[in-house]
Amino acid sequence: MKFFADTSDLDAIADLADLGMLDGVTTNPSIIAKSGKDFIPLIQEICKICPDAPVSAEVASTDFEIMMKEGDKLAAIADNIAVKVPLTEAGLKVCKNLSNNGTMVNVTLCFSPLQALLAAKAGAAFISPFVGRLDDIGLTGMDLIAEILNIYDNYPEFHTEVLVASVRHPQHIRESALLGADVVTCPPDVIKKLYKHPLTDNGLAGFVADWKKTGQSIL
């Protein structure tokens, strides 16, 4: 399973890279707006931190012609850019055009298996189903992931990776891993929660205390 950081925070991205838990980065217009920084330079900085990992940068327009121009500009930033487009008719057309030209495309705002089917047919490199937002309205977001993986498994010609998005807590990651999702994109603090367990902490405290009693040193 690949871990993508769902953030534009350069320090948090670098921290995950140092931890060896960074396989990519995703952003969206809301994340960029929250950063308060200029979009293109910020994406350039992110691409420098992880030059070999996909960095998703989303188009801003909803018009096909403008989206195509935005997508071409974003793709030109770096070789590891994945252009993010919404799951709309125009977004699918942009996905088809850009992917035919060899550009990675991440199709986002996916909320149904049939949307994911269209994204795969359009040549998307990644599909981003938003599990947290489905949970928010009383549905079960992980059911969508299961259906998409089931559909994709039926068609070997599909090469779209399932990128679980709108991840809110470790259970989303656990269930994604059990289902075999390709990628989860998470706020960095959610990834950092994965190694925490009270029994680990208690056990380590016991080991440290008992070792201290030996009066020995390994070095």
Q: Which of 6, 1, 55 is nearest to 183 (CA)?
A: 1
- 161 belongs to the binding site for ligand G3P (CB under 6 A): no
- Of residues 34, 48, 84, 193, which has the active-site annotation? 84
Among the listed residues 12, 24, 28, 91, the single contact to ligand G3P using CB under 6 A = 28
Helix (H, G, I), strand (E, B) or coil at 84: strand
Residues 176-215 close enough to bind ligand G3P by CB under 6 A: 185
- 170 belongs to the binding site for ligand G3P (CB under 6 A): no
CB of residue 76 to ligand G3P, shortest distance in Å: 23
- 166 belongs to the binding site for ligand G3P (CB under 6 A): yes
Stretch in the footprint of ligand G3P (CB under 6 A) among 38-46, 63-71, 117-125, 129-137: 129-137
Q: Which of 51, 88, 58, 90 is nearest to 73 (CA)?
A: 58
Q: Which of 22, 86, 87 is nearest to 58 (CA)?
A: 86
Binding mask 60-99 for ligand G3P (x = CB under 6 A): ----------------------------------------
* Residue 84 appears among annotated catalytic residues: yes
Question: In this structure, what token pair is assigned to residue 83?
Answer: 């252009």
List the end-to-end C-alpha distance of the chain, in Å, as a whole number: 37
Stretch in the footprint of ligand G3P (CB under 6 A) among 127-135, 148-156, 197-205, 206-214: 127-135
Name the residue number minimizing CB distance to ligand G3P.
166
Residue labelled with tokens 């938003």: 130
| Largest separation between any pair of C-alpha atoms in the chain | 72
Which helix (DSSP H) or strand (DSSP E) does residue 24 occupy? strand 24-26
- 130 belongs to the binding site for ligand G3P (CB under 6 A): yes
Burial pattern 176-195, b for ≥16 Cβ within 10 A else e, equals beebebbbbbbbbebbeeee
Residues that bind ligand G3P (CB under 6 A): 6, 26, 28, 128, 130, 132-133, 165-166, 185
**Residues designated as active site:** 84
